[in-house]
Amino acid sequence: MQDRIAQYLGATGYQVGLATDAFAAGGVTGVGPGAGTIKYQLPDAHSDFIFAVAAEEFGFVLCIVIAALFGLVTIRLLLRAAHAPDPFAQLAGAGLAVVVGLQAFINMGVSLSILPAKGMTLPFISYGGSSQLAVALTLGLALGITRQRPQLPGAHRR
């Protein structure tokens, strides 16, 4: 336990150190698709540290695009939830949006050595069928809850 706290407070661990090396090696435009070498040394590079692998191979530009897309999806879902007609749909939609956005933020933060390693996957990008299915169901449920249903003229809400 003390080692994990010490790694977070100052000393970088093995996996996080390799992830930060991947960011440094990638630079702005990256080394090219498939040309990265950190993925062969980094344990769980296909799931927990896929953001670092993308940074090495495609550079800082792709990292900004990925972060912007997750931000856009989260904000869009929050706006849909805010316009929902009933409080349950508002709270459930906002909660589901925050879950997906927070999972992406945690994975990216771990890869950037901002947060301690958690073992969370990056939604829709990391390898793993159960994670893909869970995130797809989460977003599907959020869209279903916040769906705007057409109202007939003269019909009143109950």
Per-residue pLDDT in tens (0 to 9) along the chain, 158 residues: 676 666 556 556 777 777 777 878 888 888 888 887 787 877 777 777 888 888 888 989 999 999 999 999 999 999 999 998 889 999 999 999 999 999 999 989 888 888 887 778 889 888 878 888 999 999 999 989 888 777 777 766 55
In a domain, 95, yes or no: yes
Q: Whose CA is closest to 70, among 55, 51, 84, 56?
A: 51
Q: For the chain, how many structural domains are there in total?
A: 1
Q: What is the model's pLDDT at position 73?
A: 94
In a domain, 25, yes or no: yes
CB atoms near residue 47 (< 10 Å): 17
Q: What is the model's pLDDT at position 6?
A: 65
- Long-range (24+ apart) CB contacts under 8 A made by 122-130 are 122/50, 122/51, 122/66, 123/70, 125/50, 125/51, 125/54, 125/66, 126/46, 126/47, 126/48, 126/50, 127/46, 127/47, 127/50, 128/47
Q: What is the model's pLDDT at position 141?
A: 92
The letter for the amino acid at 65 is V
Are residues 104 and 92 in contact, defined by beta-carbon separation less than 8 angstroms? no
In a domain, 73, yes or no: yes
In a domain, 9, yes or no: no
Which range marks the domain in which residue 27 is found?
14-145
In a domain, 134, yes or no: yes
Question: Can you tell me the distance from the alpha carbon of 17 to that of 75, in angstroms, rounded to the nearest whole number?
Answer: 31
Are residues 65 and 77 in contact, defined by beta-carbon separation less than 8 angstroms? no
In a domain, 156, yes or no: no
Q: What is the model's pLDDT at position 126?
A: 83
